């Protein structure tokens, strides 16, 4: 398997080089040259546990890592790391829906699934090459703590995590800033997540700075992040096939940066038994508007109860757009340049009137989120975080009331909702919704009295660059 850039400006890469490059040197995103069809392997994979299934899928894309080494990396990432054991992504039945709980990792976020593996892969590659790495990350909340957890204390690695000051939940901020390892550096940027992401991309595209400082990225612009997340879509589909007897399922994914749902889209292209994806956004609805109209246009960033989705410019959208224009880098560059200049691009819809018949899309506002949390708890006794509540709300809006009783198409296929974080990470939203302080977890409670460390830096790439240079020198 080789890798290229969406913008066509780099030579093809092996997997390890793609991981270390992170953001493509031409400013594009790295994608596989081919997407393998695994339809004929599904029966053999259906009963594998999570580490074994991860090995079968990831080895197709990481051919330059010997099999025994890859098995070891996967085992160190998942075995005895998640509180659910080797069942990394357990599923709960919640009324008419099924919920995949991706919050059983060390920081209680779905980001752990990918970043535990990426941390081990970074360390493996650096050991092979006797190298060093300075990671620059932008986070809207959960990526930061999961990335820090994945690389804290690792030899040869420093990590610099930018978060928008005052725009992540207090617990998300404390999860990051209470880690005092010498190789961990938290930065509060006076701006939005989009500002943090813009700074990260600008510095990663400064090739002299990138090479001089051995700069790497852990955001989902790094292909390894998306690859690792593809695994739980296969396993979720296999589990629901066994539970329901259905041939295919649909999956609802709350999304901000388009990385999580893109992993599901790639899994579908490979042949996973998934018929549709349901894309759910909050008031920052640039993605849901696009999939319903073909128009991708900037709006204002709104602060919401689901801060990890408070994003307008979704990095991974470029990967999807690349495939949507049949892998034509010239067309892709033209569209991205148009968006950079005008804040708008448009592509033709299908005959259905939507961009992609395999992707339904909707959005949920603050009242919808609170109602979803309240409804789920009162009717099912099940707590969901505000991001998961976006998905819960959108699924309810897209599936007509009474569909199950009528036996409609929507009811004949089970729906899997992706739960992205433990509700204890968002206690204020939970208490606002149900009037009780029920969102608790011992690991979260333990953060309250820990010392913290964070550097406040201006919303300026040069200021961040200077901080990195000063720190590593």
Residue 366 belongs to what H/E stretch? helix 366-380
Tokens of 273: 């038994």
State the Cα–Cα distance between residues 226 and 19, nearest whole angstrom: 11
Q: What is the DSSP letter of 308?
A: G
Environment class of 341 (CB within 10 Å of its CB; exposed 0-12, middle 13-18, buried 19+): exposed
Q: Are 178 and 103 in contact (CB under 8 A)?
A: no
**Strand runs labelled E in 319-459:** 344-346, 359-363, 415-419, 455-457
Q: Phi/psi at 447 (nearest 5 deg)?
A: -75, -20
Environment class of 11 (CB within 10 Å of its CB; exposed 0-12, middle 13-18, buried 19+): exposed
DSSP secondary structure letters along 191-241: S-HHHHHHHHHHHHT-HHHHHHTTEE--STTSHHHHHHHHHHHHHHHHHHH
Q: Are 235 and 50 in contact (CB under 8 A)?
A: yes
Residues 6+ apart with CB under 8 A from 121: 19, 73, 224
**Strand runs labelled E in 55-192:** 91-94, 97-101, 133-138, 157-164, 184-189
- Give the chain's end-to-end CA distance (angstroms, integer): 37
**CA dihedral defined by 65, 69, 72, 77, rounded to 10 degrees?**
-30
Catalytic residue among 2, 111, 201, 425: 111
Closest CA relative to residue 189, chosen from 175, 200, 178, 202:
200
Active site residue 111: yes
The residues facing 254 across adjacent strands are 280
Label residues 204-237 b or e (16+ Cβ within 10 Å = b): beeeebbeebbbbbbbbbbbbbbbbbbbbbbbbb
Q: Are 426 and 439 in contact (CB under 8 A)?
A: yes
Enzyme catalytic residues? 111
């Amino acid at each position: 398997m080789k890798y290229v850039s969406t913008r066509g400006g780099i030579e093809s890469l092996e997997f390890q080089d793609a991981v270390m490059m992170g953001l493509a040197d031409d400013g594009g995103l790295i994608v596989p040259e081919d997407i393998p069809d695994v339809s004929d392997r599904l029966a053999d994979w259906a009963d594998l546990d999570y580490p074994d299934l991860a090995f079968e899928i990831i080895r197709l894309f990481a051919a330059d890592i010997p099999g025994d080494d890859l098995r070891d990396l996967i085992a160190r990432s998942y075995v005895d790391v998640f509180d659910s054991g080797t069942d990394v992504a357990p599923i709960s039945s919640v009324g008419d829906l099924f919920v995949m709980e991706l919050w059983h990792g060390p920081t209680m976020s779905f980001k752990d699934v990918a970043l535990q593996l990426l941390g081990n892969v970074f360390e493996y590659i650096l050991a092979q090459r006797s190298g060093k790495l300075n990671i620059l990350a932008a986070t809207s909340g959960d990526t930061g703590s999961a990335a820090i957890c994945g690389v804290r204390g690792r030899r040869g690695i420093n990590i610099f995590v930018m978060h928008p000051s005052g725009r992540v939940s207090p617990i998300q901020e404390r999860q990051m800033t209470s880690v005092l390892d010498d190789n961990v550096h938290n930065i509060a940027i006076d701006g939005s997540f989009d500002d943090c992401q813009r700074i990260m991309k600008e510095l990663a595209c400064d090739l002299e700075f990138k090479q001089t400082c051995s700069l790497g990225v852990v955001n989902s612009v790094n292909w390894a992040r998306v690859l690792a997340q593809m695994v739980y879509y296969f396993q979720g589909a296999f589990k629901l096939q066994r539970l329901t007897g259905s041939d295919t399922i649909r999956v609802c994914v709350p999304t901000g940066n388009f990385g999580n749902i893109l992993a599901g889209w790639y899994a579908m292209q490979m042949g996973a038994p998934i018929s549709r994806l349901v894309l759910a956004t909050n008031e920052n609805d640039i993605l849901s508007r696009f999939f319903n109209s073909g128009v991708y246009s900037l709006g204002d960033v709104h602060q919401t109860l689901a801060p990890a989705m408070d994003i307008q410019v979704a990095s991974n959208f470029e990967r999807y757009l690349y495939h949507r224009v049949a892998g034509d880098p010239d067309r892709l560059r033209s569209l991205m340049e148009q968006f950079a200049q005008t804040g708008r691009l448009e592509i033709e819809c299908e005959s259905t009137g939507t961009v992609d018949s395999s992707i339904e899309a909707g959005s949920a506002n603050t009242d919808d989120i609170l109602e979803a949390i309240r409804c789920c708890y009162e009717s099912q006794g099940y707590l969901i975080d505000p991001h998961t509540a976006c998905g819960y709300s959108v699924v309810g809006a897209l599936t007509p009331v009474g569909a199950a009783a009528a036996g409609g198409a929507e009811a004949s296929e089970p729906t899997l909702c992706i739960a992205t974080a433990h509700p204890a990470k968002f206690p204020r939203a939970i208490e606002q919704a149900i009037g009780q302080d029920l969102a608790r977890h011992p690991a979260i409670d333990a953060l309250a009295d820990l010392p913290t460390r964070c550097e406040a830096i201006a919303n300026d790439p040069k200021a961040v660059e200077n901080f990195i240079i000063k720190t590593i020198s």
